[in-house]
Amino acid sequence: MKIDCHSHVNGRRQNWGWDHNDRLIDAADKLGIDKLCCSIPIMSGMPKPDEIEICNDDVLECMRRYPDRILGYCFVNPGYVNESITEIERCVIKHGMMGIKLYNQFKCSDSIVYPIVEKAIEFGIPILEHAGYITDPEQALSQPKLSHAGDFASLAEKYPEAMLIEAHIGGGGDWEWAIKSLRHSPNVYLDTSGSVIDEGIIEIAVRELGADRLVFGTDMTMEGGVGKVLAAKLTESQRESIFWKNMQIILDKKRV
């Protein structure tokens, strides 16, 4: 059993490089992934509520098309606080989405994000946020409000009841820095996704944080995402926790 906590589907505003969302299901079938938690974030600028609604509607369409396979995150821009809360209520209560997706419009520790975190706590749902500690100055410049593990730690301390998932340990720069920064933040989970498949990354994360704080993800690097968890020297119980149990525990906490 595998639950991919970090995936994406194509929509009207975003094509990730495949021709039809059936390809995502085919890929999941080939790699033994049972469920994919998907979103369509807008990755630049300050997207407006009507643009965001289109993205979330396209995720909802996929949830309807593949009801046993696709779960949805509601993407919002915290810069539009009231509209974000309304959109979360629409997507989660009315249409059954499982979580909230934030991108790089604001650092997660910015107070503008607090109402969204409080809504996630109220609903018992996780927040998956794009993240990274980019050490290459040129690349770091392109995402000035990218949240890093220290920002997550700070938010987690303020909201210990929140379930925060820091995205793609393998796609967010210096992963050793990220892992160490989260040692004392028990309500921050790390998602294993990303194109970086550095040998040892999973074992080091387990050693520092424990297997209960890692959730399997691909972020569309499908073979790498599955392969790194299969390759890691873990007990079968730890591997199961990472592949699906930890995410299932998170999903089961939903209250609405």
Partner 1 sequence: MIIDINAYIGHWPFRQLRHNTPDGLLRLMDKNGIDKAMVSSINAIFYRNSHAGNEELSDWMKAHRDRFIPFATLNPRYAEWKEDLKQCHEEYGMIGVRMFPHYHNYKLFKDEGLEMIDFATEMDMVISIPIRMEDRRQRHWLDNVSDLPLSDVESAMRACPEASFIILNGRGFEGSSLFKDENLKNKNFLIDISRLSVVLQREIPKLIELTGISKIAFGTGIPFNYPTPSLLKVQILDASEQDKEALLWRNALGMIES
Please give the residue ranges that form the binding site for partner 1 (CB under 8 A): 16-18, 23-24, 26-27, 30-31, 132, 134-136, 139, 171-176, 195-200, 220-224, 226-228, 230-232
Query: Is 186 in contact with 162 (CB distance < 8 Å)?
Result: no
- Please classify residue 129 by burial: count the beta carbons closer than 10 Å to its beta carbon, then call 0-12 exposed, 13-18 middle and 19+ buried: buried
Residues, the chain? 256
In the complex with partner 1, the residue whose CB is nearer, 1 or 230, is: 230
Residue 19 C-beta: closest distance to partner 1, Å: 10
Residue 155 C-beta: closest distance to partner 1, Å: 22
Q: List 3's β-bridge partners, or say none.
A: 35
Contacts for 130 with CB less than 8 Å, ≥ 6 apart:
41, 43, 102, 103, 104, 146, 147, 167, 168
In the complex with partner 1, the residue whose CB is nearer, 52 or 232, is: 232
In the complex with partner 1, the residue whose CB is nearer, 81 or 196, is: 196
Distance (Å, whole) CA 231 – CA 239: 10
Find tokens 């934030």 and name the residue.
102
Residue 172 C-beta: closest distance to partner 1, Å: 7
The DSSP code for 67 is T
Residue 114 C-beta: closest distance to partner 1, Å: 28
Residue 22 C-beta: closest distance to partner 1, Å: 11
In the complex with partner 1, the residue whose CB is nearer, 94 or 233, is: 233
In the complex with partner 1, the residue whose CB is nearer, 185 or 221, is: 221
